[in-house]
Amino acid sequence: MPEAFAKKITWLGHDAFRVEVGKTVYFDPYQIENGPEADLVLISHDHFDHCSPEDVARIQGPKTVIVTEKDSAAKLNGDIRVVKPGEILEVDGIKITAVPAYNTDKDFHPKTNEWLGFIVQINGIKLYHAGDTDFIPEMKDLDVDIALLPVSGTYVMGPDQAVKAAISINPKLAIPMHYGAIVGNLQDAIDFEKALKGKVDVLILEKGN
């Protein structure tokens, strides 16, 4: 089932994804082409490569709902729902759980900012978009089917830490992200996949597919 669901996930580069399963859901749209109008946009935090008002505008319609944290909300317009880690809401039948995302050994994403990762439940599948984060203790309590995990290092966890996160979370499928745009490259994703062989299934997506 997660494999079939994964075919509905399009990686748009960096941390940006589009999921089309009845509803059209975007995560952190950045440097994207025009695409299908969004039913739901989830934005993890207000750094320019995650909260990009011009990219949101490309896929925003009159009924689009944006779920994000307070800093990003101040930069955006429309139907915006502000959440903090630990809060749960439902939008058009989609259950959204806001979870923590922060650095443990660097200062780019402080825990005190209350920036976000998301667990989105659609068609019985729980999809986790980790946001910009290191391997944090809260991950061990997650129950998800598919995990989108950053692997580039520098601002987020690198491949080694991401492997530990994937093993701790133990999803049915892990998809690497946060490479190929600002920092990181395909080799980070390949290293992540190799280290998890026989432990967690990994799918490396091609941009646009």
- Tell whether 169 is covered by a domain: yes
Instruction: Name beta bridge partners: 20.
Output: 24
Is residue 140 left, alpha or beta, with left meaning phi > 0 and alpha meaning psi from -120 to 50?
alpha
Banded model confidence at residue 3, pLDDT cuts 50, 70, 90: confident
0.85 exceeded by the pTM? yes
pLDDT at 14: 87
Can you tell me the mean pLDDT for 80-108? Answer: 95
Q: pLDDT by residue (tens digit) across 159-199?
A: 999 999 999 999 999 999 988 777 767 888 999 999 999 99
125, 133, 156, 168, 177 from 105: Cα distances, Å: 32, 10, 9, 18, 20
pLDDT at 176: 96
**Whole-number average pLDDT of the chain:** 93
Number of compact structural domains in the chain: 1
Can you tell me the mean pLDDT for 62-86? Answer: 97
Three-point CA angle 200, 7, 69, nearest 5°: 80
Banded model confidence at residue 158, pLDDT cuts 50, 70, 90: confident
- Tell whether 165 is covered by a domain: yes
- Tell whether 203 is covered by a domain: no
Q: Indicate which CATH number applies to the domain containing 161.
A: 3.60.15.10
Tokens 């959440």 -> residue: 83
Q: Inform me whether the pLDDT recorded for 1 exceeds 70.
A: no
Tokens standing for residue 33: 């082409």
Tokens standing for residue 124: 């019985």
Compute the residue count for the chain. Answer: 209
- Tell whether 104 is covered by a domain: yes
pLDDT at 171: 97
Q: Inform me whether the pLDDT recorded for 124 exceeds 80.
A: yes
Range of the domain at 165: 2-195
Contact criterion met (CB below 8 Å) for 113 and 130: no
Q: Inform me whether the pLDDT recorded for 30 exceeds 70.
A: yes
Q: Inform me whether the pLDDT recorded for 87 exceeds 90.
A: yes
Banded model confidence at residue 6, pLDDT cuts 50, 70, 90: confident
Name 56's Cβ contacts closer than 8 Å, sequence gap at least 6: 29, 41, 43, 66, 76
Can you tell me the mean pLDDT for 118-134? Answer: 95
- Tell whether 205 is covered by a domain: no
